[in-house]
Amino acid sequence: MAEIVITVDNLVKLTKKEFVLQYLFQKAAGRRERGEASRGELYEGWFQTCIKTGEKPGTASSFRKGVYLLMTMGVIEISRQEPEPGIPFPRNFYILTMEYYNYMRKR
């Protein structure tokens, strides 16, 4: 898997929502399709970013709420679901909506 690099300006605090959007957009770089990631992958990336910047990452639960908020805002969507062994609900994978992906490409 290719490494995702997100540059953080030390003067500007990157929010969880901004991180998710940048992560998904950069994951799609150089591909024809939009990049996707599971919530666990997104949280792990956020956690590692916080370690490097000295920020507190917050809980996985608060991160999950942020992902849900982005879904309700219509900027990310579930691309697919995979069954999770021993857990009654599937693992969701997220992508940017086509509208927001095109907006990010034009920026």
CATH of the domain at 53: 1.10.10.10
Whole-number pLDDT of residue 11: 43
Q: Residue 10 domain-assigned?
A: no
Which amino acid type is present at position 90? P
Mean pLDDT score, 76-90: 92
Relative orientation angle of helices 98-106 and 16-27, to the nearest 10 degrees: 90
Averaged pLDDT of the chain: 87
Whole-number pLDDT of residue 34: 80
Domain containing 34: what range?
16-106
CB atoms inside a 10 Å sphere around CB 89: 8
Distance between CA atoms of 59 and 48, rounded to whole angstroms?
A: 13
Number of domains in the chain: 1
Which amino acid type is present at position 50? C
| pTM score | 0.84
